[in-house]
Amino acid sequence: MSAPHPPLTQREHQIMVLIAQGLSCPAIARLLGISASTVRKHRTHLLEKTGRHNAAQLTCYAVTAGFCQPTGTAKGYALGPVEPAGKPGRSPHRHRLHQ
């Protein structure tokens, strides 16, 4: 049996999905309207909570743990967000992710 997933804040969940989609810290910061240093801090917390060491490992974790899933596109595959468990409905910032 695998270990339970560490609890993530809504913001950590957002940032993990965006990292998994290949966005840089400055790009995530612009998208979410926060500073790049805040994004880096969240990324550090994500790496610590999940026991991962880099964005590639975090991306693999995000997919295998069900935080995001491959979605078909005309150019191949992209990673789309999956709603956090126990939090139905749209997050207040989700509309920004799909602009």
Q: Is the pTM of this model over 0.85?
A: no
- pLDDT at position 88 is 46
Work out the average pLDDT over 69-73: 64
CA torsion 28→25→42→61, rounded to 10°?
A: 90
Better pLDDT: 86 or 21: 21
CATH of 10-84+91-97, one of 1.10.10.10, 1.10.287.620, 3.60.20.10, 3.40.30.10: 1.10.10.10
* CB of 21 closer than 8 Å to CB of 13: no
Structural element, H or E, at residue 37: helix 36-50
Dump pLDDT digits (tens) for 16-64: 999 998 999 999 999 999 999 999 999 999 999 999 999 999 999 998 8
* Confidence check: pLDDT of 14 > 60: yes
Better pLDDT: 75 or 27: 27
Q: Name residue 80's beta-bridge partners.
A: 69
User: Any idea where the domains of the chain sit in the sequence?
Assistant: 10-84+91-97
- pLDDT at position 95 is 40
Secondary structure letter of residue 77 according to DSSP: E
Give the residue from 93, 91, 89, 78 showing the smallest Cα distance to 23. Answer: 78
